[in-house]
Every structure is written in structure tokens, then in C-alpha cells.
Amino acid sequence: MQLGQVLISENQIADAVGKLAGRVSRDYDLSRIVLVGAMDGAVCFLSDLMRAFAQPVDVTTVRMRRYDGTHGGEVTVSWLPLRDRIEGREVLIVEGIVDTGETCAVLSERLSELGAASVDICALLDKPSRRTHDIKATYIGFEVPDVFVVGYGMDYNGAYRSLRDVCVLEGGESELN
């Protein structure tokens, strides 16, 4: 397993983040929105996106886990915001990468149960070739091929999260974690 080429550079990411914030601003009343960052993969994307809006937005986080380490298994939520942060709000899930779609599907359902007025998804990266769950992600930064990527918040077993660019991990199958 070794770090491969830069797939999406820091500059390309910065440009995409600005454009996504612009689209969200046109579509939503920002005073009603709450960004829900899916930790830990969305850590960089959330912190850049939330500061790209021209007015303050509410921000909170969730943490998703798979029971079965790196090879899939059932997605569970290990922390969620309290109901009073979500009820009646326009929720925008902020995710680093949508792969099978299961994480977003489970999270959308839990946020709806908490009384969200609406739930949509903003993901920096989308790997549509591996989708098994029918999820709607209105805001996507980049489509990526079926390679394992790291950097800008995304990790391989905890490594490479702090890279500024999104890079390919050579020899990494598309594992889930």
C-alpha cells in the first residue's frame, strides 16, 4: 500500500468548495440550515465549507461506524446531535465521499427520525460506480473512479487524513471504514 498520484489538488478542492457554498446559498435560507458533518472523513470539507458562506450557518457533527472494521458490515451511528438541534431544520449532511451510499442512507433516516424538515447531502467526492443504496446527493464536488482515495480528511486505517490534496492509495481496494 503506498501513496499514489494526486487525484484532486488543494486548489481544485478550494474552487469546488466555493462553488458548492454558492449553490447551497442560492437554494436555501441559510438561517434555517444546519450542516451535519459526518466525522471523521468530513473534517476538512466541513471546516472549509462552513467558512465559505457569506453569513453564519449552524454546524454540528455525527459519527458513523461500521461494526466490521474495514470490510463493510452494518453502519451504525455512534453519536448524533440532540433532537432540538435538528427538529424543524433544513439539514445538509456534509460528507467526504459517498461510496455505496449506505452511510448517507442510514444517516438520512436517523436525521428524519429526529424531525428534520428536509435532509439533503453535500459530498466532496462521489464514487457512483459502487452505489448500492439509492440516495440523493444534490451537491457533489467531484466524481471519482473506483479507486481508494486518501487525504483532505479521508483516511486509510487512520493514516493520510491530514494531506492537503486528495490522492490515490496504490494497491488499496475500495475498502470501507
How many whole angstroms separate alpha carbon 154 and alpha carbon 123?
12
Q: Which residues contact 152 (CB under 8 A, 6 or more apart)?
A: 8, 10, 13, 44, 45, 96, 124, 163, 164, 165, 166
Q: Is 177 near Mg ion (CB under 5 A)?
A: yes
User: Can 84 be counted among the known catalytic residues?
Assistant: no
Cβ-based nearer residue to ligand IMP, 30 or 175: 175
With CB under 5 A as the contact rule, which of the stretches 7-15, 51-59, 120-128, 169-177 interacts with Mg ion?
169-177
3-state helix, strand, coil in the chain (%, to 5): 25, 35, 40
Rounded to a whole number of angstroms, the minimum distance from the CB of residue 98 to Mg ion is: 13
With CB under 5 A as the contact rule, which of the stretches 63-71, 82-90, 97-105, 151-159 interacts with Mg ion?
151-159
Q: Is 33 near ligand IMP (CB under 6 A)?
A: no
Torsion of CA 142, 98, 96, 49, to 10 degrees: 60
Residues catalogued as catalytic: 99
The footprint of Mg ion (CB under 5 A) covers 155, 177
The footprint of ligand IMP (CB under 6 A) covers 38, 41, 75, 95-103, 148-150, 154, 174, 176-177
